[in-house]
Amino acid sequence: MDLDHVALAATDAAAPLARFVAELGGTVLSGGQFRGFRPVQVRVGDARRGMTVELLEPWDTIENDFLVRFLAGHGDGPHHLTFKVDDFDAALERVAATGRTPVGVNRADPNWMEAFLLPREACGTVVQLAAQRDASPDVATRFAEVEAHGPIGEPWWPPLPASAAQTAVLERVVVRTPDLDEARGFFVDLLTGAEESAGPGALELRWPGGGRLRLEADHPSAGIDRLELAGDAPERILAGTRVVGS
């Protein structure tokens, strides 16, 4: 199991995308248009360090209005964390064994099967479990492909501004929780995160592809609180989400 990306919902994804590129030096990896939403993935980092952010904008919402409903209730902001799994059925069995109930289980496309855990069962955020039959290339390969041919898929966004001279690195996603032991059980025992370091009221986790979470305890509300960049950086609000230096 691997933490693949963090997804942010936005009424207008093109606007924060332009800032991810112009201010943080992000590299647009891919995009497309689907019923209910159109995503664009941007790497905040390089081929060796960083994480991928997916921006989601409503699109073709008549038959699928999940994102419109989310934005109406919450506004722009963090939407979900996506974890890639090798064995979809085994992953669902593992989840069910903990008493959780996956929703939106979809096996219609053998190339991309997915299911979701709702925030009440996933430490305050939506978690997507996805199995991709043809494994996506590693980050270094994707960078090379983008450099040679442009973003993968169907680019729908307006022309982007010039990239920042210095590339920022997305170090981690910070998740707050009122119960650190429960969050550890979810992200470590179930979602196989490796404990990288621990301190008073906090726990750093890492996955094989380089994705990192920081769990922070003693907060009344649970869920994604912010994205942290490596080093000093001014605080920004991008797609309704705090982006700060670490």
Q: Give the pTM.
A: 0.96
Strands of the sheet with 2-9, listed across from one edge:
103-106, 112-117, 126-132, 77-84, 2-9, 50-59, 36-45, 27-31, 152-153
For domain 2-245, the question of CATH label 3.30.70.260 is answered with no
| Residue spans per domain, the chain | 2-245
- What pLDDT, in 10s, does the model give residues 13-22? 999 999 999 9
- The percent of the chain in helix, strand and coil, each rounded to the nearest 5, is 20, 40, 40
Strands 2-9 and 112-117: unpaired
Instruction: Assign 91 to helix, strand or coil.
Output: helix
Amino acid at 72: A
Percent of the chain surpassing pLDDT 90: 87
In this structure, are residues 224 and 173 in contact, taking their beta carbons and an 8 Å threshold?
A: yes
pLDDT of residue 9: 98
pLDDT tens-digit series, residues 145-200:
898 899 999 899 999 999 999 999 999 999 999 999 999 999 999 999 999 988 88
Which ranges of 84-138 does DSSP label H, i.e. alpha helix? 88-96
The pLDDT of 224-238, averaged and rounded, is 97
220 pLDDT band, cuts 50/70/90, is confident
User: Given a cut of 80, is residue 59 above it in pLDDT?
Assistant: yes
